[in-house]
């Protein structure tokens, strides 16, 4: 168990770090034109973050003690396929969720 002081130091430190990272772009660079190559790379930030958050839960789910599960793998495949075909993030997430919960209900 982590004591309260350490917990609050970590929370405040992460908050300051998060603020600083955002301020670098909005405060220091916000009024300047950014190069085209930087803008092109920044467009893909959100696309890279979502898979990075989801991949560990698909490959090593805590619900199964880190063992891969067919329902999660199928849901990830459906999400990827729907996303590639429709180019719609919400449709992909919805199809993946329906697949995951549908398979968990059927297998469960």
Question: Which pLDDT band holds residue 45 (cuts at 50, 70, 90)?
Answer: confident
User: Are 53 and 97 members of one domain?
Assistant: yes
pLDDT at 10 over 80: yes
User: Are 51 and 14 members of one domain?
Assistant: no
User: Are 50 and 96 members of one domain?
Assistant: yes
Nearest to 82 by CA among 99, 68, 65, 105: 99
User: Are 24 and 71 members of one domain?
Assistant: no
CA distances from 49 to 17, 41, 42, 56, 62 (A): 18, 13, 11, 12, 20
User: Are 7 and 57 members of one domain?
Assistant: no
State which residues form the domain around 13.
1-32
User: Are 21 and 60 members of one domain?
Assistant: no
Q: What is the pLDDT of residues 65-100, one digit of tens each?
A: 888 889 999 999 999 999 999 999 899 999 999 999
pTM (2 decimals)? 0.61
**Does some domain include residue 37?**
no
Three-state SS at 69: coil
Burial class (CB in 10 A: 0-12, 13-18, 19+), 75: buried
User: Are 74 and 26 members of one domain?
Assistant: no
Three-state SS at 88: coil
The total domain count for the chain is 2
């Amino acid at each position: 168990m982590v004591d309260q002081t350490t917990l609050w130091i970590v929370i405040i430190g992460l908050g300051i770090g998060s603020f600083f990272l955002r301020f670098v772009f909005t405060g220091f660079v916000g009024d300047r034109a950014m190069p085209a190559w930087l803008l092109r790379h920044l467009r893909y930030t959100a696309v890279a973050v979502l898979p990075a958050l989801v991949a560990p839960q698909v490959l090593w789910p805590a619900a199964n003690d880190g063992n891969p599960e067919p329902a999660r793998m199928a849901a990830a495949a459906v999400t990827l396929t729907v996303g590639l075909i429709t180019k719609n993030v919400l449709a992909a997430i919805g199809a993946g969720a329906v697949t995951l919960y549908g398979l968990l209900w059927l297998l469960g």
